[in-house]
Structure 1
């Protein structure tokens, strides 16, 4: 395939921590030959954003978890996608999600599940994190394990409230985000090749 498929990372970051997580997701996408990451800040709802989302093979949603939910800025983007929903413009695309909060738990699952519901209403196919839980899953676990926060729906990160975006999230959480980007990119490539094969079978 000569033209790389596009994987858009549609995210909002309030203080820079989730933006750092988004960059790690993008690095994971870009590490897969045949895929290209496109970082988009959903705080700007312009034509370029909607066009990028329309042409993407997969969309990875990202938001900080504030008070147990996605940020108001991300929710504004979700609601603005209603016109796309009406035309089912994202039907069949892949979707995934990531989130960050100051608390170790912080009800991050609730934010991820709201992204999954958004994707489902758009007729998208959700890609999970695909990792066993790390750290406290076994007595020999380490805070350096992948998926140390034990998420399944998407990639989770934690950034202590008194640390800057240059200091947090930590390496484990960033590597987990990178894994998510790789997983989505590889799955998207499988989808593209599968559709091509199916098309050839129909015309044969």
Structure 2
């Protein structure tokens, strides 16, 4: 059995919808468990994130997919606090050689969301993790990778805080494909 952990923060629900689609894609493979792990502000006390249960779940996973909305050109503050709090794992290289990936959502088509994925990839590299790219050609006719990201999955929804969070159908499909790709890579990587 292979476990894919999807750890993310979602401020308005869009990133949560992407996480759900990633999990659905990962679970298409037999012998695969996808665990959604949502970071919340309540886990941050006096500016420091701490949750031993979440860290234990991530330590036991075969792959970790990191997700955050893009706020002001980077990860959300809550997610940054989580990444800083996980530095205790880095000190012991606890995630070394574990597969990693990332996703983000922004309110505008560019939104500087690539910088969020770069930040997530650099964090994974510092942990000694193996990053999995999107593996999708840009702007496919079915909407997959409509925003043209190679580093990870990106979604975009024009902000309308009077409506319930939603995803573009292509972004949902992109996230689904990305979850499937990382689960496939985890099966290959761990069946050596």
Classify the TM-score, shorter chain: over 0.9
Instruction: Give the corresponding residue for 1:52.
Output: 57
| 1:153 correspondence with 2:142 | no
Q: CA RMSD, aligned part only?
A: 1.3
Counterpart-to-counterpart distance in 1, 2:88 and 2:21:
30
Instruction: Give the corresponding residue for 1:14.
Output: 11
| 1:110 correspondence with 2:112 | no
Q: How does 1:2-41 map to 2 (within 5 A)?
A: 4-41=1-38
| 1:98 correspondence with 2:103 | yes
Distance 1:145 1:133, change over 3 A: same
Distance 1:68 1:172, change over 3 A: same
Q: For 1:180, which of 153, 178, 181 is the aligned residue?
A: 178
Counterpart-to-counterpart distance in 1, 2:32 and 2:187:
8
> Which stretches of structure 1, 4 residues or more, deviate above 6 A after TM superposition?
none
* Rg (Cα) greater in structure: 1
Distance 1:165 1:96, change over 3 A: farther
Judge conservation of contact 1:16–1:165 (CA < 8 Å) in 2. Answer: no
Q: How does 1:72-91 map to 2 (within 5 A)?
A: 72-91=77-96
User: Which stretches in structure 2 are left out of the alignment for 5+ residues?
Assistant: 44-49
Judge conservation of contact 1:24–1:177 (CA < 8 Å) in 2. Answer: yes
Judge conservation of contact 1:7–1:58 (CA < 8 Å) in 2. Answer: yes
Distance 1:30 1:65, change over 3 A: same
User: Which stretches in structure 1 are left out of the alignment for 5+ residues?
Assistant: 136-141, 195-204
Q: In the TM superposition, what whole-angstrom CA distance separates every residue of 1:178-202 from its partner, at most 9, and x where no partner exists? A: 11100000000001111xxxxxxxx
Deviation at 1:33, TM superposition (A): 1.0
| TM-score normalised by length of structure 2 | 0.92
Counterpart-to-counterpart distance in 2, 1:158 and 1:25:
15
Distance 1:84 1:165, change over 3 A: farther
Deviation at 1:96, TM superposition (A): 0.2
Q: For 1:122, which of 127, 131, 156 is the aligned residue?
A: 127
| TM-score normalised by length of structure 1 | 0.87
